[in-house]
Amino acid sequence: MTSALSTHTSSQRQQLMTEKPARIVLASTSPFRKELLSRLGLPFETANPETDEAALPNESPEDTALRLSEAKARAVVESYPDALIIGSDQVACLDGRTYGKPGTHENAVQQLRTMRGRTVNFFTGLCLLNARTGQAHVRGVPTLVTFRDLTDEDIESYLRREKPYNCAGSAKSEGLGIAIVEKMCGDDPNALVGLPLIALCDLLRLENVNVLQTTVGADE
């Protein structure tokens, strides 16, 4: 995919990147993604994408996350036709199988019993959509997480205290979930929480937004 910056000279790029950034919308109601995005110091709004998150037949876990990240961004285009819209989706992958949000205590127990002592790929799909042009920049960011060899009692105690039923793979690493993890490996620690900021900064630059050269605060 060709960078939008490639069509400008260095001086033009500098000018574009120091101008006030476009309206930014986070297509998510997750308070954790909102907190992560606020770290960049850009003004943004949040919107509920109301997207069907079911995987398609024969779709790989990684393809599901990439497709849904873009689908979430496109779901709010009508309300924000001139914005840069951020969509993100995460799936847990083990042995070629997708583990999404468990939804219930029973499902979460089964997920963690399957994953204990194993290394799971928490794959995050990220999309930055220019609603005005229709151009979508999509990136996938894997994070390998090795779970502790948890006992059934560990699992029950963790789930009762944390209730991570809306988290892929039942692993809420920004909370008590860090205690069920033995180690993790990835390019961006923020990806496991649900919004890979390093990749997002790359994608924002493709739309002439340099977070280091803006002086605006986050919008509530």
Which residues belong to the active site?
Answer: 89
Instruction: Please count the other Cβ atoms lying within 10 Å of the Cβ belonging to residue 111.
Output: 25
In angstroms, the CA 84 to CA 70 distance is 12
Beta-strand pair 24-26/45-46 = parallel
C-alpha distance from residue 132 to each of 71, 72, 81 (Å): 16, 16, 6
- The DSSP secondary structure of 76-90, one letter per residue, reads TTTT-TTSEEEEEEE
Q: Judge residue 43's burial from the number of C-beta atoms within 10 Å of its C-beta, 0-12 exposed, 13-18 middle, 19 or more buried.
A: middle
Q: How many residues does the structure list for the chain? A: 220
